[in-house]
Structure 1
Amino acid sequence: MPPLRDTGADRNAEQPEYAGGYRLQACLGAGGMGVVHLAASASGLRLAVKVVHARYAEDPEFRARFRQEVAAARRVSGAFTAPVVDADPDAVRPWMATLYVPGPTLADQVKRNGPLAPAELRRLTAGLAEALRDIHRAGVVHRDLKPSNVLLTDTGPKVIDFGISRPVDSDLHTETGKLIGSPPFMAPEQFQRPREVGPAADVFALGSVLVHAATGHGPFDSDSPYIVAYQVVHDEPDLTGVPAELAPLVARCLAKDPGDRPTPAQIMSALLPPSYAAEAFIPAQRRRPALPYGEESGGGPGREKPGHAPAWDADTPVRPAARPESGRAAGPLCRHGPLHLDRL
């Protein structure tokens, strides 16, 4: 991976000083498509600002996708997402500012503290079903629901990163032979019929996310994304470790046929009456309190930086599943700035 270029006002700087009128104060994280920075609005709102890598800013297709991401994120209610505060997809370096949401991702929570307890899992199921209902009502298909795109907050889970989402009335389609997503959390139709992907694909991803939250691994597990793709299309999911009271519902979410999967509203109905045993999520014992705004962490590896830092790692093309192959790719990490992530 080539080193990130210098900070500054130059259009090619990978760590620019400003996005629009927002001064970028710290690097929260990065991935293949851009860098996420901490910033603040004039009124003091803490923001997470995505700035596209310079090399992609010159790509008209990527600009169209980024414009679509901004539109999709704006269409969805902020009750279940990080609300969009400002954006300029037509800037020299396209950027989008969303409200900074404190809290660990589901991926971090499971990695650091193990699988969720049954009551927490039930609450997560209900919260993500509500989020998907809201997203789908806005006419948007997320297409990349996964643990790193779920923030756990004291007001319930938040779904972030609409980078490959698609409004149902969009005329921007996936290219033939180029699949975009995160294989362990993609539905069979995303590999087989990517142009026909609809809301049911998000429900399949929800099933995979719930298995990960309950067990620490997915229902289709391999180091190779190509083997995972084959398993998603052809094999039955492994639900070992999923609580017995939720396993049948999770299995329905993971049905191969989109028509056999429940809708988010049906998932919510299946969870009635609600369980009051699960209180609002409070990040677990290893979470450290946030530092005063703008202060350097001074920490080293393993120190958690809670908050909203999308990973931008869902854009690796994946070939349609036909037979198992080997190989995997990893995106670049942001390694400098006063604040960084240990995991993206």
Structure 2
Amino acid sequence: MAGQEADPGAPAQGSVFQPLEAGDPVQLGDYVLAARLGAGGMGTVYLSHTLAGRPVAIKAIRPELAGDPDFRRRFRQEVAAARRVHGLYTAPVIDSEIDTAPLWLATAFVQGPTLAAAVTRHGTLPVASVLLLAAGVAEALQAVHGEGIVHRDLKASNVLLATDGPRVIDFGIARAVDATALTKTGVAVGTPPFMAPEQALNKEIGPATDIFSLGQLVTYAAKGTPAFGEGQSHGVLYRIVHEQPDLAGVPDALLPLLRRCLAKDPAERPSAAEVIGLCRAASEGGILRRTGDWLPGAVTADLTRHHDVPA
């Protein structure tokens, strides 16, 4: 699913809030739509507000998905599970329509760019920022896995950067596609450059799958590309299954973490709690402290583009 970023390649001075287009709904449930935030394989993301005025992100599910009974059944289950997740580094699901088309879900709006947009605009992150990013995402995964959910599509566009840390979005929802015939006709579950070997081989998925994707995420933040490169899907997936990660150019402080996260065998990967421990061990003084300037100055300045929310 798409994150809350409209265009990772947009100029820094441009607005992240795009006007509604012809054919867009005006209202979903109690939520009047104010702007577009982005679109992806499962639907379109809009900006709206609660009745009390707090901004929220509304994901409207594509009609062809919503029309599939298997998808609706799985979507209902996954949204119910996602609403139980309340981690500090997640964007919680606060409302949804899971029975009657159009299907949608509302999450807290995070006032910051995706990791993908930040790296595209401003380049790679310094080691201290990457360690705080990895630890925050790992803590989010603890909350997600604690509810029996596997994210399955952890990637740079599903991690948002805010002044007080990262936020993981869309956890578990990709699983709703698995049961549908649409999976075989172009709606892929997962994003190849961030997939784990067991996903590429259609084997059993578990929490360790997300840890591998976390390793890809950390490599991307530190190097600018995932550990097994980019390009055509079949080539990327072949390298993920059969080759070793390309960590050239990754700072040495991150290598112990990445070598464990990117192990081919899921049993050899660390837990989310162990990832946090590895991040602490690699940080200065063995502790992690997040401040308002945990990101590079250019990225922090870019956050302001997300603060001028249209009414």
Question: 1:47: which partner in 2?
Answer: 56
Listed as ranges, the gaps of 5+ residues in structure 1 are 8-13, 296-344
What is the identity, as a one-letter code, of the residue corresponding to 2:42? M
Question: 1:281: which partner in 2?
Answer: 294
Asked if residue 105 in structure 1 is aligned to residue 114 in structure 2, the reply is: yes
Aligned partner (choices 256, 262, 265) of residue 257 of structure 1: 265
What is the identity, as a one-letter code, of the residue corresponding to 2:244? E
What is the identity, as a one-letter code, of the residue corresponding to 2:287? P
CA distance in 1, matches of 2:171, 2:130: 24
Asked if residue 208 in structure 1 is aligned to residue 216 in structure 2, the reply is: yes
CA distance in 2, matches of 1:280, 1:259: 36
Aligned partner (choices 234, 238, 241) of residue 242 of structure 2: 234
Question: 2:29: which partner in 1?
Answer: 20
CA distance in 1, matches of 2:166, 2:69: 34
208-217 or 281-290, larger mean C-alpha shift: 281-290
Work out whether residues 65 and 163 of structure 1, in 8 Å CA contact, stay in contact via their aligned partners in 2.
no
Work out whether residues 162 and 303 of structure 2, in 8 Å CA contact, stay in contact via their aligned partners in 1.
no
Work out whether residues 152 and 281 of structure 1, in 8 Å CA contact, stay in contact via their aligned partners in 2.
no
Distance 1:277 1:43, change over 3 A: closer
Work out whether residues 17 and 24 of structure 1, in 8 Å CA contact, stay in contact via their aligned partners in 2.
yes
TM-score norm. by structure 1 comes to: 0.75
CA distance in 2, matches of 1:269, 1:138: 22
CA distance in 1, matches of 2:195, 2:306: 34
What is the identity, as a one-letter code, of the residue corresponding to 1:43? A
CA RMSD in angstroms, aligned pairs only: 2.4
Question: 1:224: which partner in 2?
Answer: 232
Asked if residue 245 in structure 1 is aligned to residue 261 in structure 2, the reply is: no
Work out whether residues 74 and 179 of structure 2, in 8 Å CA contact, stay in contact via their aligned partners in 1.
no
Work out whether residues 66 and 163 of structure 1, in 8 Å CA contact, stay in contact via their aligned partners in 2.
no
1:171-227 deviation per Cα after TM superposition (whole angstroms, max 9, x unaligned): x7588x956211111111112243x11000000000000000001001111310110
Work out whether residues 164 and 180 of structure 1, in 8 Å CA contact, stay in contact via their aligned partners in 2.
no
SS at match of 1:141: coil
CA distance in 1, matches of 2:166, 2:21: 36
1:68-115 deviation per Cα after TM superposition (whole angstroms, max 9, x unaligned): 331232121142211122111112200111111101111111111100
SS at match of 1:140: coil
What is the identity, as a one-letter code, of the residue corresponding to 1:274? I
CA distance in 1, matches of 2:263, 2:180: 23
Bigger radius of gyration among the two? 1
TM-score norm. by structure 2 comes to: 0.82
CA distance in 2, matches of 1:6, 1:113: 29
Distance 1:181 1:156, change over 3 A: same
Listed as ranges, the gaps of 5+ residues in structure 2 are 1-19, 281-285
Work out whether residues 119 and 277 of structure 1, in 8 Å CA contact, stay in contact via their aligned partners in 2.
no
Using the TM superposition, give the Cα deviation of residue 284 of structure 1 relative to its aligned residue in structure 2, in angstroms.
3.3
SS at match of 2:117: helix
Asked if residue 127 in structure 1 is aligned to residue 136 in structure 2, the reply is: yes
SS at match of 2:141: helix
Using the TM superposition, give the Cα deviation of residue 26 of structure 1 relative to its aligned residue in structure 2, in angstroms.
1.2
Percent identity of equivalent pairs: 47
Question: 2:85: which partner in 1?
Answer: 76
Question: 1:141: which partner in 2?
Answer: 150
CA distance in 1, matches of 2:139, 2:44: 29
Q: Residues 169-188 of structure 1 correspond to what in structure 2 (within 5 A)?
A: 180-188=189-197
After the TM superposition, which segments of 4 or more aligned residues of structure 1 sit over 6 Å from their partners?
A: none
CA distance in 2, matches of 1:211, 1:292: 31
What is the identity, as a one-letter code, of the residue corresponding to 1:80? Y
Work out whether residues 156 and 280 of structure 1, in 8 Å CA contact, stay in contact via their aligned partners in 2.
no
